[in-house]
Amino acid sequence: MITLCKTYLLYLGDAVLKSDCKTAFGLRDWCTDAVLAEWSHPNGTVSLGLPRLSPQEAHARGAGSLIVGVAPTGGQLPRHWLADLENALHAGLDVVSGMHTRLSSFPSLVAAAAFSGTRLIDVRHTGLQYPVATGARRTGRRVLTVGTDCALGKKYTALALTRALHARGITATFRATGQTGIMIAGTGIPMDAIVADFIAGAAEALSPANTHDHWDVIEGQGSLLHPAYAAVTLGLLHGSQPDAIILCHDPERLTIEEYPDHPIPPLNTVIDLYLANGRITNSNVRCTGISINSSSLSEPAWHAYRTQLEDQLQLPVCDPLRDTVTPLVDALMTAC
């Protein structure tokens, strides 16, 4: 797996939109102990509200990596950032990016890393090899967040669950499968960058055998309903062999985002689809709860919708950013 050197200095480039800095904000909110400060290009206007330190100052205070916390449209790394990244490398920091452009495609960065003995880490392009899945059952317990679509709360749900399990004194590990999750956890496997034949094998490697009372909380990717990304979801489901799944959904989405000809079916139908496929590697998999992204709903509308779903599905329903995830943890402990 990728392993990052904490503590982090978050780089915001010359971003002027907060929406372009979702990675940085996610790290600030979920990885507080590992985030030291922020830094940006002189033309940048976005701030995380953190102390501003140069790479040299951050390294002197214990930082190990500069994280590119920006995801501009197209995922390309602007050339006018290179001087800033070279500065960080010469200061002794690894440079970590989740963008499509490979850091190693810039000779000046390669030279700076070689000179300083630091690393260029492209979270999406690891070069690591994974075996074909065995399908063999492993010890330990696993819960996987799954979704009706992409980008609706699978990572945040998994992080909130992990935090809640820790609060109860239960041993649990957040297993990251996407770029931001890997930066938060400091380790993980980018599932959408794995060749299809090896996705399930990578998922087995991500969540190895463990003690009987240990929970792996696995960050889901994509959706079985997605016409483009379902293969990643299926491989992750098979390799994770979850004992439980938690379905994540945004009630505002009636169709797959950007695919208007692909409607999202009723949630009970989606649950049945996930369980039928999950039983291929774990015959005892069950759905133990529903996580809702209710940001589009008023407080009264949210309460009504939650009550309706709980009555219909006979499962606990919550929004991790709006409510406590206690009902999800209670159900997980009872069912598994």
What does the alpha-carbon distance between residue 19 and residue 316 come to, in Å, rounded to a whole number? Answer: 31
pLDDT of residue 315: 98
pLDDT of residue 101: 87
- The token pair that represents 333 in the structure block: 């402990």
Residue with tokens 């200061």: 91
What does the alpha-carbon distance between residue 140 and residue 112 come to, in Å, rounded to a whole number? Answer: 43
Residue 291: phi, psi to the nearest 5? Answer: -110, 125
pLDDT in tens, 287-310: 999 999 999 999 999 999 999 999
What is the 8-class DSSP label of residue 73?
G
Cα-based distances in Å from 11 to 61, 98, 161, 173: 16, 12, 28, 27
Which residues on adjacent β-strands are paired with residue 248? 147, 291
Alpha helix ranges (H) inside the chain: 22-30, 55-60, 82-90, 107-116, 154-167, 179-185, 199-206, 230-240, 267-278, 299-313, 326-335
Nearest to 285 by CA among 135, 112, 142: 142
Per-residue DSSP letters for 30-51?
Answer: H-GGGEEEEE--TT-----SSP
CB-based burial of residue 145 (10 Å sphere; 0-12 exposed, 13-18 middle, 19+ buried)?
Answer: buried
Cα-based distances in Å from 322 to 144, 196, 293, 305, 317: 21, 36, 9, 14, 12
pLDDT in tens, 165-199: 999 999 999 999 998 899 999 899 999 889 999 99
What is the 8-class DSSP label of residue 253?
-
pLDDT of residue 74: 64
pLDDT in tens, 210-221: 999 999 999 999
- The token pair that represents 280 in the structure block: 């291929």
Average pLDDT, the chain: 95
pLDDT of residue 73: 63
What does the alpha-carbon distance between residue 305 and residue 294 come to, in Å, rounded to a whole number? Answer: 9
What residues of the chain score a pLDDT lower than 50? none
Q: What share of the chain is helix, strand, coil (3-state, %, to 5)?
A: 40, 20, 40
Which residues on adjacent β-strands are paired with residue 188? 2
CA 288, distance to chain mean position in Å, is 20
pTM, whole model, 2 decimals?
Answer: 0.90
Residue with tokens 């979704």: 147
Superfamily the domain 2-122 falls into = NAD(P)-binding Rossmann-like Domain (3.40.50.720)
pLDDT of residue 189: 94
Superfamily the domain 141-335 falls into = P-loop containing nucleotide triphosphate hydrolases (3.40.50.300)
Cα-based distances in Å from 249 to 210, 237, 269, 292, 314: 30, 17, 13, 5, 16
**CATH 3.40.50.300 occupies which residues in the chain?**
141-335
Sign of CA dihedral 227, 229, 230, 231: positive
